[in-house]
Amino acid sequence: ATPTSVLVSTGQAARLGVLFRKGSALQMLDELRVVVFDKTGTLTAGHPRLTDLHGCDLPPEVSETDLLGWLAAVEKPSEHPIARAVVAEAEARGLPLPTPTDFTALPGQGVTATVAGHHVAVGTDRLMAHLNVATEAGAPVIAELARAGKTPMYAALDGRLAAVLAVADEIKPTAAAAVAHLRAQGLEVVLVTGDHPATAQAVAARLGIDEVFAGARPADKADIVRRLRQRGRLAFVGDGINDAPALAVADVGIALGTGTDVAIEAADVILMSGDPVGVLQARDLARATMRNIR
């Protein structure tokens, strides 16, 4: 390998906003077979909005508005885009956000805290199961929200189901084209997400992706990547703290520059613009460089 060709290529790459942190990424991208994408913040904009909040069996002294304020208070310390959506809605309605105590974030599952004397939890069915909260009453609404491509969540108050809520996130304008081009190059494209299976399917269908793994916690994402690597060289593309383990075990970890520092630290390649088309640019640069070297 001539160092000059690598340098020229990476200079060009930098102008495109593609940063290579590891030289070996060039060869891995040249030999690429499989591209695994995270969904939220990677193929979707990552700026979800709260679209639904349905109280379930709320105690009479608690209004849906009170509940929204408490949910927002619990979400306030979280960096997750879902958390920002809940907080934004509460702030838009001018609700007071009490300061939570005992805040706990469970990556890929949700958050819990004590607010205004109540134990409040927001997140997935797995989080609710972990807290022994029965979710049957909310399950039909959850399923309907997910089929609409929204991300549904349960909220619990003092150990009982209190509400079902959902956020919706727009697909990035270039995401479907990026997927189509990768597939046209003969690559397999896979979606892996912590989101609800029906939500993941709805989004995948709009993107032309037919292989989907949903409900994946951070460690599950890494296990899926390890398994899919058996098909050949694999790139994982992600943006979140929850993606760091998968970025680390992929042949090429590709983080979006718009993502969290933890993801960027774990990656071999960084796409500064946050545009999924950058995966194609990175691959084109890698192939051109490898041709020069050979």
Is residue 84 within 8 A of residue 41, CB to CB? The reply is no
CA atoms within 13 A on the CB side of 56: 23
Query: Does residue 245 touch Mg ion according to CB under 5 A?
Result: no
How many residues touch ligand ADP under the rule CB under 6 A: the total is: 23
Query: Does residue 201 touch ligand ADP according to CB under 6 A?
Result: no
Query: Least distance (Å) from ligand ADP to the CB of residue 102?
Result: 15
Q: Which is nearer to ligand ADP, 160 or 291 (CB)?
A: 160
Query: Does residue 194 touch Mg ion according to CB under 5 A?
Result: no
Residue 109's binding partner among Mg ion, ligand ADP, none (Cβ under 5 to 8 angstroms by kind) is ligand ADP
Binding string, residues 127-166; x marks residues near ligand ADP by CB under 6 A: ------------------------x-x-------------
Tokens of 197: 């299976």
Query: Does residue 260 touch ligand ADP according to CB under 6 A?
Result: no
Query: Least distance (Å) from ligand ADP to the CB of residue 279?
Result: 17
Tokens of 272: 């500064």
Which of residues 9, 40, 109, 151 is near Mg ion by CB under 5 A?
40
Which of residues 48, 55, 123, 245 is near ligand ADP by CB under 6 A?
123
Interatomic CA distance for residues 262 and 246, integer angstroms = 12
Interatomic CA distance for residues 172 and 156, integer angstroms = 32
Which of residues 55, 100, 194, 274 is near ligand ADP by CB under 6 A?
194
Which of the residues 38, 66, 125, 169 is marked catalytic? 38
Q: Which is nearer to ligand ADP, 161 or 286 (CB)?
A: 161
Q: Which is nearer to ligand ADP, 34 or 86 (CB)?
A: 86
Q: What is the DSSP string of 32-59?
A: EEEEEEE-TTTTB-S--EEEEEEE-S--
- Other CB atoms closer than 10 Å to residue 285's CB: what's the count? 21
What sign does the CA torsion over 141, 143, 149, 152 have?
positive
Does the active-site annotation cover 38? Answer: yes
Length of the chain: 294
Interatomic CA distance for residues 62 and 194, integer angstroms = 30
Short-list 43, 11, 294, CA closest to 182:
43
Q: Which is nearer to ligand ADP, 67 or 286 (CB)?
A: 67
Interatomic CA distance for residues 156 and 162, integer angstroms = 5
Is residue 66 within 8 A of residue 58, CB to CB? The reply is no
The one segment of 2-10, 25-33, 118-126, 269-277 that binds ligand ADP by CB under 6 A = 118-126
Interatomic CA distance for residues 83 and 91, integer angstroms = 12
User: Could you give the residue numbers annotated as active site?
Assistant: 38
Residues that bind ligand ADP (CB under 6 A): 38-41, 75, 78, 80, 82-83, 108-111, 122-124, 151, 153, 193-195, 240, 242
